[in-house]
Structure 1
Amino acid sequence: MFEIEALEVSHWVSRYMYPFARISGLLMVMPLLGTRMVTARVRLLLAVTITLVIVPVLPPLPAVDALSVASLVIILQQLLIGIALGFVIELVTQIFVIAGQLIAMQTGLGIATTVDPSQGASVVVVSQWLLFLVSLVFLSLNGHLVMIEILVDSFRTLPVGFTGFSAEQFGLMVTWSGWMFAAAVVIAIPAMTALLIVNLAFGVMTRAAPQLNIFALGFPVTMIVGLLILSLSLGEVAQSFQGYMDTLFEFIKKLTEMS
């Protein structure tokens, strides 16, 4: 009798432990919640709360002994799935970080750096400004709520078991990483093109009036033009981020349904 009760308790624990592993993996690396600005205790509390809420609506989970090696394998797989989903979301925000670095290098603003409180590293101010902007847009679009909805749906499309992501799914993630760099270049192209025209204009001026000190005049003008371009493209950046978020959600749905 005691053995039967112990087995039932073990299955009950594993029913909550597997979703908790996937949810905690997502919260560890996703934007905003996965940064240093959110303490580990807060992420743990959120993971436990979400787990307690969604477990009653999840499909049946495998009845495996919580203290067995098979259970450990399932937990690691669920943790990897959550980290992969959070990593895909983080790549969208890094699009604008890379775009900010490209723009800063062209405008001479690359010398202006600050400490990123979320990563604890020194970053370009332009990249940090764009990251703050897209983070606010992410919250205003209820992106965090949509991600929780997609996470809950992933338990239906990618059920808990002994199999995780396939090689084809990891290949899609690699392709998505390449798309991140292409999207960053697309965002930075207008500013880079405008600054190229400015540099060509200074080249013509230098040929026409060699006595001009192009280094003393060109650097501040380039910075002013770069700041003007950033201010004019503010609305476009927010709109493009919204489009990238729609693409992200479609990609995640496609990724989790390939099971």
Structure 2
Amino acid sequence: MVEVTFAQLQGWLMLFLWPFVRITAFLMASPLLGHSSVPNQAKIGLAVLITVVLGPNLPPMPEAPLVSWVSLGIMVEQMLIGIAIGLTMQVMFAVVQAAGEFIGLQMGLAFATFFDPSSGTQTMVLSRLLYMITLLMFLAFNGHLIVIEIIATTFITLPIGMGGFNANAFELLVRFGGTIFAAGMLLALPLVGALLIINLSMGILNRSAPQLTVFNIGFPASLTVGLFLLMVLMSDFGRFLQRLFSDGLLFLRQMLEAMAPLA
């Protein structure tokens, strides 16, 4: 007859529970699997599957009662690590959304919005289109597999129960948020610059010939030129995304290494 002691049962639960919290926090905060359209049952099931696969290769768990304040602190620690990884990925995808917002405003598509259930706000159609293309390209580049590999290595660089973080790592995460505006404007700059010149020309034309209203000429011209330049932009969009994903995943590794407490 097989007998299981309370100590063995507690050890198995700790081996599963704490990594499960880190992986679940990441899945809830990530832009791909954390979307509201993905059922919670699928998120939890995937987190359980990843935890079971990684469980035998994890380093030894800290000696702490499962039901205690120490265990609660460890769970909060795992949640912060998972959320930090998810927020880094959110910043990567927000770059393309910001570029879509900049381009849409210059093209005159500010009215072409719809409700986005994932963010709870109105989103431009062009921004949503670029976001979906980015998601598909991320899957095509096997970015989701790279992120899972990074999460697996975090249990070595950031072992469970390490007792604290390096506060400078969270400052790095906040500064990385500036990539949304810097890289987003860099992507949208060719279209924004060309459309700005067209709008300035339409303004001068409207002053010199008031009978040629901006709504009759300016809007069709901006929309036509914007669509043409958008087609040209799509030819180099893959290389931009490849660079964006490489820089983002490299920063993710550096941030996780920086989160380790100072000796």
Counterpart code for 1:139: L
Q: 1:74 aligned to 2:70?
A: no
Contact 1:102 1:188 in 2 (8 A): yes
Task: Report if the CA contact (8 A) 2:91-2:179 is conserved.
Answer: no
* Structure 1 length-normalised TM: 0.93
Structure 2: how far apart are the matches of 1:248 and 1:73? 29
Offset of 1:73 from its aligned partner? Answer: 0.8
Tell me the distance in 2 between the aligned counterparts of 1:164 and 1:218: 58
Contact 1:11 1:64 in 2 (8 A): no
How far did 1:120 drift? 4.7
Please state how far the C-alpha of 1:224 moved relative to its aligned partner. Answer: 1.4
CA contact (8 A) 1:110 1:124 kept: yes
Q: What is the rounded CA distance, in whole Å, between the counterparts of 1:199 and 1:130 in structure 2?
A: 24
State the match for 1:109 in structure 2. 109
1:123 matched to 2:130? The reply is no
State the Cα deviation string for residues 73-114 of structure 1 (Å, max 9, x = none).
Answer: 101110111011111111110111111111111110111012
Aligned to 2:10: 10
Alpha-carbon shift at residue 208 of structure 1 (Å): 5.2
Of 162-171 and 53-62, deviating more is 162-171
> Separation in 2 of the partners of 1:137 and 1:69?
43
**Distance in 2 between the 1:220 and 1:135 partners?**
30
Gaps of at least 5 residues in structure 2 are none
Distance in 2 of aligned mates of 1:102 and 1:69: 48
Q: Contact between 1:26 and 1:86, CA under 8 Å: does it hold in 2? A: yes
* TM-fit CA distance, 1:165: 3.2
Instruction: Between 41-50 and 55-64, report the one with greater CA deviation.
Output: 55-64
Where do residues 78-227 of structure 1 align in structure 2 (5 Å cutoff)? 78-206=78-206, 209-227=209-227
Indicate the residue corresponding to 1:32 in structure 2. 32
When structure 1 is superposed on structure 2, of 83-92 and 228-237 the one drifting more is 228-237
- Give CA deviations for 1:177-219 in whole Å, capped at 9, x if unaligned: 1122211111111111010121233244345544422332111
CA deviations 1:114-157 (Å, max 9, x no partner) are: 23354454210010000011000011011111100000011111
The amino acid across from 2:54 in the alignment is: I
3-state SS, counterpart of residue 64 of structure 2: coil
In 1, the alpha carbon distance for the partners of 2:25 and 2:242 equals 25
Q: Bigger shift: 210-219 or 13-22?
A: 210-219
- The CA RMSD over aligned residues, in Å, is 1.7
CA-to-aligned-CA distance 1:206-243 (integer Å, 9 cap, x gap): 45544422332111111111122212111322221111
Percent of aligned positions with the same letter in both sequences? 39
Count matched residues: 256
Distance across 1 between alignment mates of 2:117 and 2:140: 21
Residues in 2 aligned to 1:68 and 1:189: alpha-carbon distance in whole angstroms: 54
* Letter of the structure 1 residue corresponding to residue 6 of structure 2: A
Relative to the length of structure 2, the TM-score reads 0.92
Find the aligned partners of 2:188 and 2:65 in 1 and give their Cα distance: 53
**Secondary structure, counterpart of 1:115 in structure 2:** strand
State the distance in 2 between where 1:94 and 1:255 align. 18
| Equivalent position amino acid for 1:166 in 2 | N
Contact 1:20 1:51 in 2 (8 A): yes
Q: How does 1:26-65 map to 2 (within 5 A)?
A: 26-65=26-65
